[in-house]
Structure 1
């Protein structure tokens, strides 16, 4: 699976975990077949869950007039993935992480999601 597809699946897994408070194994199993293992997908899901407090703190520090709990689950999950990539994965350029996050937001969020995600992530990298 390519990295774009892995990000989509990671978003779906993390979104389910956020919305339904699912365990990581159950959430992965609901999105990915057993024979569809992908190291990048697993690194995103486990990375976000392992570093969630730090990631949430970084996101919260860069929000204006919002709290993390007020952000819709779609945008929150996307911001967590992109923030994890920006802060913990040195082999991915920040611009790629941001562009992928905007694409996810435009696909799964509403008409303002892409702009919101872009604004928050731009503050995180500056």
Structure 2
């Protein structure tokens, strides 16, 4: 499975977990619809589910004039997925790639403004990550 496809399926599974409170395993099986599992898909879904509180905290810190509850469900979950990749997959996925992929997924699953909004918020997250990484090196 290509990474883009894994991200799209992961978004669908994360959305299922968010809306229906299913387990990561159940959500993955649902989106795969009988097809074989993918390691990266599983890593994304399980990772976002396990780190959701931390990811949501980061997301809340970078929203201006928005609460996380007011976000469109799709946008919220696209950004959760991207933040997970930015923080926990940085050795495998460059931050800019995670942002660009989130923008492309937002164009597919979100509304007309989703990609711009996702880009804006994730760019702020990127700046924070870069600042904290610089502090860690000193």
TM-score by length of structure 1 reads 0.96
The answer for the alignment partner of 2:23 in structure 1 is: 23
Unmatched 5+ stretches in structure 2: 128-138
Q: Which sits farther off after the overlay, 53-62 or 26-35?
A: 26-35
Residue 122 of structure 1 pairs with residue 123 of structure 2? yes
The 5 A counterparts of 1:1-126 are: 1-90=1-90, 91-126=92-127
> Matched residue of 2:63: which SS?
coil
Q: CA deviation at 1:29?
A: 1.4
TM-score by length of structure 2 reads 0.88
Superposition misfits of 4+ residues, deviation over 2 angstroms: none
Q: Deviations over 1:23-64 (max 9, x none)?
A: 222211111145511111010001100100000000000000
Larger radius of gyration: 2
